[in-house]
Structure 1
Amino acid sequence: MDMPTAWPLWRMLALALALLLGLACAQPVLAQADPDREAATAVGGVSPDTWRQVRSGEVGPNFRDSRADSTYNLINASGESWRQLRNRWVSPFGLIAVGGMIVVIALFYVIVGRKDLSEPRTGRKLLRWPLVVRSIHWTVATLFIVLALSGLNLLYGKFVFRPLFGDAVWGAMISASKVAHNYLGPLFGILLVVLLARVLKHNWPKRHDLAWFRQGGGLVGKGHPDAGFANGGEKLWFWLLATAGLAVVASGFVLDFPNYGQSRDTMQWANIIHAVGALGLTAVALGHIYIGTIGSEGSLEGMTTGYVDETWARDHHNLWYEEVKDQAIPEEQLAAGRPAPDGGDEAASRPG
C-alpha cells in the first residue's frame, strides 16, 4: 500500500478515536440531564433483592444512614408507611372533622338559632371569671387560633394558596407558618398547663353532669338541666384539653426539639399523634367558640368583662347561682368603677 492511499485510513482511525473520547467525556453530562440515568449511576441497580433487604430491616454498607451510630437504611420502609398513613388517613380525617363541624354549626344556627335568655336581664351581675383567668384564657385562645391556622396551612395550604398566588407568595406563607408554629407551640403548651391547673377545681365530674348529657344540654325535654359552675359540656372540653391537648403538646415538643436523641420512628409517630390530636381539637374548638359567642346570649360577656347577668346564671348554671346569688351587684355599680369586693373572686371560685 503506497503512502497516498494510507493517509485516509489513519485519518479515519484518528476520527473514530476522537469520537470515542468525546462520548466518554459526555457521560456525566448526559447523566445529569437524565434523572433516571443519574439515579442509575449513583445508586446502581435496585433489584428485588435490594427491596427485600430494605423491608427486612437489614442494613447493608451501601444503604447506611450517614448519622453517627445509626442503624437505619437510607431507603427506609417505615418512612413510606408514615407517608401513606398521613396522606390516606390523617389528611382526609382532618378535612372531614373540621369541615364537617363547620357544616354542622351552620345548619344548627339556621335551624335552631341562638339560645336566648328565658327572662329579661335583671341588671344585677355576678363575678364569674377574675382578671387573671381571663388574661390566660384569651392568650391561650389566641395562640390556639394561630397554631390551628398555621398547622392547617402546613397540611393543606399547598392545595389552595400555591395555585392561587404562585410559588413566591406560597413560599413566604409556608415559611411564616412554620416559624410561627415552631416558636409559639411551646409557649401555648406552658400556658395551657397553667390554665388547666387554674380551673381544675371547677371541672371534677358530678352526678348531675350525666343528666346534663342525657338532656343534650337543654335541647332534649323541657327545662334546663342542673349545672354547677361548669356544666357537662364545659367539663368535657376541659378533659379533652387535659388529655388530647396535652398529647398534642407533648408530641409537639418531640417534633420541635429533635436534638434529644429521638429515633426516626419516634418522630414519625409523634407527627401522626400531633396531627390527629390537633385536627380533632380544632374541630371541637369550633363548637366551643360558637357556643361561647353567637350561639348563646350572654356567654361571651363572662369572659370579656368577667361578670354575667343573674338571668344567665340561673339559665345555664343554676346550682352555682344558688351558691353565689347573694354576691350579685347592680350594673350601675360596675359602670361607676366599683367592682365586687375581693369576696367575689372567692365566690366565683367555689366548686359546683
Structure 2
Amino acid sequence: MSLCRYGPLGGLLLAVMLVLTALLAPPALAQAETEREAATAVAGVSPDVWRQVRSGEVDANFRDTRFDSNYNLINASGERWRQLRNRWVSPFGLIAVGGMILAIALFYVIVGRKELSEPRTGRKLLRWPLFVRSLHWTVATLFIVLALTGLNLLYGKFVFRPLFGDAFWAWMISASKLAHNYLGPLFGILLVVLLARVLRHNWPKRHDLEWFRQGGGLVGKGHPDAGFANGGEKLWFWLLATAGLAVVASGFVLDFPNYGQSRDTMQWANLIHGVGALGLTAVALGHIYIGTLGSEGSLEAMTTGYVDETWAKDHHNLWYEEVKDQAVPEEAIGGDSRPGDERSETASRPG
C-alpha cells in the first residue's frame, strides 16, 4: 500500500521515516566498528603494557616525541574520551536531532500551521533593517553548513561509506573537515556580532514568564503578551549566547592546537563541542520550523524586513502598541529597506 494515496500527509510521514532510519541506523553499526578499531589500532599490546599505560610508566617507544611533552601515545585518557564520545555523545545527538524531527512532524500533522487570527491589513511595520537581515542569513547559512558537516564527521561513515564506497567517502569526509575547520571561526566571529546587535531586544521581562506558562499561545485562549521579542525568541538568543559561545570557544581550541593546549584539554573541548553543537542543532530545527512553515507571516520579517500589522498584533502585541503609528501601506515600501530603516528599528524598543 502506497503512502502517496494519502497525499501530503503520507509523503511527510514517509520523509520522516526515511530521515529517522538514516539517523538511527548508526548505533547498530557503531558498536561493531568501534570494537574493530580497538582490536586493530594497537595490535600486540599485552595486559601488562595496558597496566603500565594506566599508571603512566611506559618506555620511550610509547612516549610523545614533541618537545617538553610527557604524554603517552597510548593513554588511558584517550580511551576514556573514546568511550564518552561513542557511548554518550553520539547517542545523545541521535536522540536530540532525531527526536526533534519526529516532534516537529507530529506537531505539524496534529496542530498544523498557525494562521493569522484576522485578514492582513496591507499595512506594514519595519521589524529588521537590511544589515541585521544580511547578518542573520549569513550566520544561519554558516550554521547549517557546519551542522551538516559536523553530523557527517560524527555519523557519516555509518551511512555514506556503505552506500557509496571508500573512494567517495574519502572525498566527502575530507571536504567536510576542511569546510568545518575553515568556516567555524568565521561563524564564531559573526555570531558574536549578531548577538551584540540584537542584545537590547532580548533582556528578560516579567511578561515572558506568562508567555512560557501559556506555551507561546498553545495553552488557553488568545496570545500571551510579547514585546519586540517573545519568550521563545529570547530563550533561543540566550542559548546561542551561552551554549553557542561554548561551542565556538571549544571549536577554536580544536581548530588551533598550536597554542599549548594539552591532549586532555583537546579531548574535553571535543566533548563540549559535540554536546553543545548537537543540542543547538536540535533546537535550531524548531526555530527554523516556527520561522518558516509553522507560522504564517514570520518568514517575511527576515526576507523583506517588514511584517503585516495583523502579524504584529498576534505575536508581539506590546511592540505593536509602541510602533503602530509607523505603519505604512505595502505599496509605499518600494523595496526591502529604505534610508530610514535603522532609525525606525531604533524606535521599536523591546517591550
With the shorter chain as reference, the TM-score category is 0.7 to 0.9
User: Which 10-residue stretch deviates more, 331-340 or 247-256?
Assistant: 331-340
* Alpha-carbon offset, residue 93 of structure 1: 0.5
Q: Could you say which residue in structure 1 is the equivalent of 2:288?
A: 289
Aligned equivalents of 1:266, 1:333: Cα separation in 2: 57
Q: 1:187-226 maps to which residues of 2 (within 5 A)?
A: 187-226=186-225
Structure 1 length-normalised TM:
0.85
- Does the 8 Å contact 2:130/2:336 carry over to 1? no
Q: Could you say which residue in structure 2 is the equivalent of 1:80?
A: 79
SS of corresponding position for 2:60: coil
Aligned equivalents of 2:264, 2:304: Cα separation in 1: 47
Unaligned runs of 5+ in 1: 1-34, 41-45
Q: 1:287-326 maps to which residues of 2 (within 5 A)?
A: 287-326=286-325
Deviations 1:274-331 (A, max 9, x none): 0000000000000000000010000000000000000000000000000000000001
Q: Could you say which residue in structure 2 is the equivalent of 1:347?
A: 347
Structure 2 length-normalised TM:
0.85
Deviations 1:53-74 (A, max 9, x none): 2112335334221221111112
- Does the 8 Å contact 1:124/1:310 carry over to 2? yes
Q: 1:1-352 maps to which residues of 2 (within 5 A)?
A: 46-335=45-334, 339=338, 341-342=340-341, 343-348=343-348, 350-352=349-351
SS of corresponding position for 1:66: coil
Deviations 1:182-220 (A, max 9, x none): 000000000000000000000000000000000000000
Aligned equivalents of 1:69, 1:99: Cα separation in 2: 45
- Does the 8 Å contact 2:305/2:337 carry over to 1? no
Deviations 1:55-104 (A, max 9, x none): 12335334221221111112101101101111111111101100000000
* Alpha-carbon offset, residue 334 of structure 1: 1.3
SS of corresponding position for 1:125: strand
Aligned equivalents of 2:172, 2:71: Cα separation in 1: 33
Partner amino acid, structure 1, of 2:96: A
Unaligned runs of 5+ in 2: 1-38
Q: CA RMSD in A?
A: 1.8
Q: Could you say which residue in structure 2 is the equivalent of 1:5?
A: none
* Alpha-carbon offset, residue 181 of structure 1: 0.2
Aligned equivalents of 2:344, 2:169: Cα separation in 1: 50
Residues 296, 85 of structure 1: alpha-carbon distance in 2 compared, 3 angstrom cutoff:
same
SS of corresponding position for 2:225: coil
Partner amino acid, structure 2, of 1:212: W
* Alpha-carbon offset, residue 39 of structure 1: 5.6
Q: Could you say which residue in structure 2 is the equivalent of 1:26?
A: none
Aligned residues: 311
Percent of aligned pairs with the same residue?
86
- Does the 8 Å contact 1:209/1:227 carry over to 2? yes
Aligned equivalents of 1:303, 1:176: Cα separation in 2: 30
Of structures 1 and 2, the larger Rg is shown by 1
Aligned equivalents of 2:171, 2:286: Cα separation in 1: 31
Residues 290, 71 of structure 1: alpha-carbon distance in 2 compared, 3 angstrom cutoff:
same
